[in-house]
Structure 1
């Protein structure tokens, strides 16, 4: 079955509900400080919310057809894809990632909570668990949210993006975080890279993990175990005082390995990764 047909069937089975009134590809939900797209599963009571942040220059509407959207909807979660909006920056559709020499039109630490509140108001969903995921620049902002607003979500899943320099000296509270990265990523290398003669610097994944280990109270620097599956390598820090840190590396570049969405959702729901990874 083609990916296009699978995507079409997903929206037949899980349409945008009448209660939502907006959120489709061509009719985003509008807030005073930005827009977002949304898909609602056809269930009596959604289990929670999965929010996914696009990469720099991307659009939220493109994520409605993503593997993570299909996984979330199939498991009964509302899927939300906000639009980055920084009109005076190089990437006009970007996120306010923390870093030196970076100025923004909109601070997304305020925008994402506004989106979440509006989603809950439109869907009537008061509770449920929340996952915040993001790719590239979106993944970097997931790290920022996990560090500075840890209560925003129950778990965080950044992909191919981490802190930018200057790195934070510490984070507000422990979190559950599953970071995925390509071994051959040249756009956001594991060690980061600099722009403009060092004026702006991508952060280092290893340094970012160290900051979070300290926040989560991981007594040992090394993970309590490593594991492998085909072309994937895992490091598990699940014996910390609080929270849970997982690192998944794959042989590819700046993107997601096959099955990323399924693994992330299994980990989010507390199943699968320990048995399979």
Structure 2
């Protein structure tokens, strides 16, 4: 089984500084923002193990014009993640959308989502008993676009990535600087908001999901797809020589965030990692 490839040196350097500032702020949680500079996130912890062990986590990025508070208020998501024994982390975007390459109007200057995620993860580890080697980055819709960008540029920061109904904006990246990661993508076959083949929005367009998978597979050295039928979606899985997995699951339905998709992605990641 592949081992996580986390580069935690920067985390170890940041932890003492963040821990010293985390005392009064530790009261933040599912109903109160955890502040990290000008950005914030919310977090819900599961019942903690009696031995004091750190727990795994799912970082779930919200969609366009949505909020971290709404993610935390989703009872189905909350119950499903807690039942897995995981923390749920919901980051908040700066403005109505995540600031990503190719977005309508172009990226906003001065907002670096990758650096913001670096700081967020370091802050979570300093404040809460979360295992840095067992965090899955996911996101729905525009949050799924963030998850794809994180997979491309922060492969070592997370154990795996689970974009839900999201893709890159065009033009698609030619390669990914942080190396291939395990990416478990789920999409509805009748999605009208982020169709599988994408759609034009103002001065840009959403990337074709099949082309994203094809390019990532070629660039990351992933082999031929193997069909695997799960309960609900039809999935195809590719593996590369390092043991990373690229999976596309297509399920019936449209553009909606479903707890079952998040649970399936985590269970698949756990099996791949041998947890």
State the TM-score, normalizing by the size of structure 1. Answer: 0.80
The Cα of 1:115 is off from its aligned counterpart by 1.1
CA displacement, residues 38-85 of structure 1 (integer Å, 9 cap, x when unaligned):
111221323222110000011111222444433332333221101111
> Is structure 2 residue 217 aligned with structure 1 residue 213?
yes
Q: Equivalent residue for 2:9?
A: none
SS in 2 for 1:181: strand
Equivalent residues in 2 for 1:24-35, closer than 5 Å:
24-25=30-31, 27-35=32-40
Q: Equivalent residue for 2:185?
A: 179
Q: Equivalent residue for 1:10?
A: none
Once residues 82 and 229 of structure 2 are traced to their aligned partners in structure 1, the CA distance between those partners, rounded to angstroms, is: 29
Once residues 126 and 255 of structure 1 are traced to their aligned partners in structure 2, the CA distance between those partners, rounded to angstroms, is: 29
The change in CA–CA distance for 1:74 and 1:128 in structure 2 (over 3 A counts) is: farther
Q: Equivalent residue for 1:252?
A: 253
Is the 1:49–1:131 Cα contact (8 Å) retained in structure 2?
Answer: yes
Once residues 259 and 87 of structure 2 are traced to their aligned partners in structure 1, the CA distance between those partners, rounded to angstroms, is: 23
The change in CA–CA distance for 1:150 and 1:203 in structure 2 (over 3 A counts) is: same
Task: Count how many residue pairs are aligned between Structure 1 and Structure 2.
Answer: 242
Is the 2:54–2:131 Cα contact (8 Å) retained in structure 1?
Answer: no
CA displacement, residues 163-204 of structure 1 (integer Å, 9 cap, x when unaligned):
1111100112110111000111111011111122xx211111
CA displacement, residues 85-137 of structure 1 (integer Å, 9 cap, x when unaligned):
12xxxxx2x10122164122522111111111111111154644110000000
Equivalent residues in 2 for 1:1-277, closer than 5 Å:
20-25=26-31, 27-43=32-48, 44-66=52-74, 67-86=76-95, 92=96, 94-99=97-102, 101-104=105-108, 106-125=111-130, 127-172=132-177, 173-196=179-202, 199-220=203-224, 223=225, 225-229=226-230, 231-238=232-239, 240-256=241-257, 259-270=260-271
The Cα of 1:230 is off from its aligned counterpart by 5.6
Is the 1:47–1:128 Cα contact (8 Å) retained in structure 2?
Answer: no
Once residues 267 and 126 of structure 1 are traced to their aligned partners in structure 2, the CA distance between those partners, rounded to angstroms, is: 18
State the Cα RMSD in Å.
2.2
The Cα of 1:269 is off from its aligned counterpart by 1.2
CA displacement, residues 143-182 of structure 1 (integer Å, 9 cap, x when unaligned):
0110011111010000000111111001121101110001
SS in 2 for 1:99: coil
- The unaligned stretches of length 5 or more in structure 1 are 1-17, 87-91, 272-277
Once residues 41 and 230 of structure 1 are traced to their aligned partners in structure 2, the CA distance between those partners, rounded to angstroms, is: 26
Q: Which has the higher contact order (CA 8 A, sep 6+)?
A: 2
The change in CA–CA distance for 1:45 and 1:230 in structure 2 (over 3 A counts) is: closer
